[in-house]
Amino acid sequence: MSGGVVGARAASLTFMLGCPSHNGDGHGKLPKRVAPILGLMGKKVVHMGGSGAGVAGKLANNYLLAVSNIATAEAMNLGIKLGLDPHQLADLINGSSGQCWSSSVNNPIEGVSPDAPVEKGFDGGFAVGLMRKDLGLAMKAARESGAELELAKRAEEVYEHVEDSEGMKDFSVVYRWLERRNVGGTVKMVR
């Protein structure tokens, strides 16, 4: 499943299934049978294929999440350092091509996403250590399958540093880690 603590609270999780499409006797469609039950906890159930396909989908999804979370933190940090209002910047990103789950639902800036972990000091949510674990699993799967993941090693290093300095906070705490590493003052590019 995907959607984290925020999705669980809102019953908006996405479930990815890897299972046979029949119930053993060749008649029923197992994914259709379990979808109503999973629908009580989420908004979407996706049958990815046979056994293991759900895990493969989760690994690919969480790899993208790991990278997009860092990119969201960097983009917000960049815009703020360039003198932009963080809420206007988030509004721009979330209404444009840069929009992603990390920018719209789990934004690391206070007041942007009302239920995001930043509103509780980055407590709760999906811990940095869990993101490191999922990223490691995706990297292992990539090595085994021959898939190239150009950004994975650097993302792994970032999450390692973040976990060392921030502990088991929500993985969106990458923003605070970056902010503390900033050098120099803000450059006002806007008047």
Is the distance from CB of 173 to CB of 107 less than 8 angstroms?
Answer: no
| Predicted confidence (pLDDT) per residue in 84-96, tens digit | 999 999 999 999 9
Does 19 score more than 80 pLDDT? yes
Residue 30: predicted pLDDT: 80
Residue 28: predicted pLDDT: 42
Residue 70: predicted pLDDT: 98
165 burial class (0-12, 13-18, 19+ CB within 10 angstroms)? middle
Integer Cα distance of 187 and 144 in angstroms:
45
Q: Which residues are catalytic?
A: 58
Q: Which residue has the higher pLDDT, 159 or 19?
A: 159
- Answer yes or no: pTM beyond 0.75: yes
Proportion of the chain above pLDDT 70, given as a percent: 92
Does 25 score more than 60 pLDDT? no
Does 186 score more than 90 pLDDT? no
Residue 86: predicted pLDDT: 97
Residue 30 backbone phi and psi in degrees, to 5: -55, -50
Give every CB contact of residue 168 below 8 A, 6+ residues apart in sequence.
127, 128, 129
The alpha carbon of 151 is separated from its chain's Cα centroid by a whole number of angstroms, namely 15
E strand residue ranges, the chain: 13-18, 42-49
| Predicted confidence (pLDDT) per residue in 100-143, tens digit | 999 999 999 999 999 899 999 999 899 999 999 999 999 999 99
Token code pair at residue 71: 């990119």
Integer Cα distance of 98 and 90 in angstroms:
10
| Predicted confidence (pLDDT) per residue in 40-53, tens digit | 899 999 999 998 99
Q: Per-residue b/e over 37-65, b at no fewer than 16 CB within 10 Å?
A: ebeeebeebebbeeeebbebbbbbbbbeb
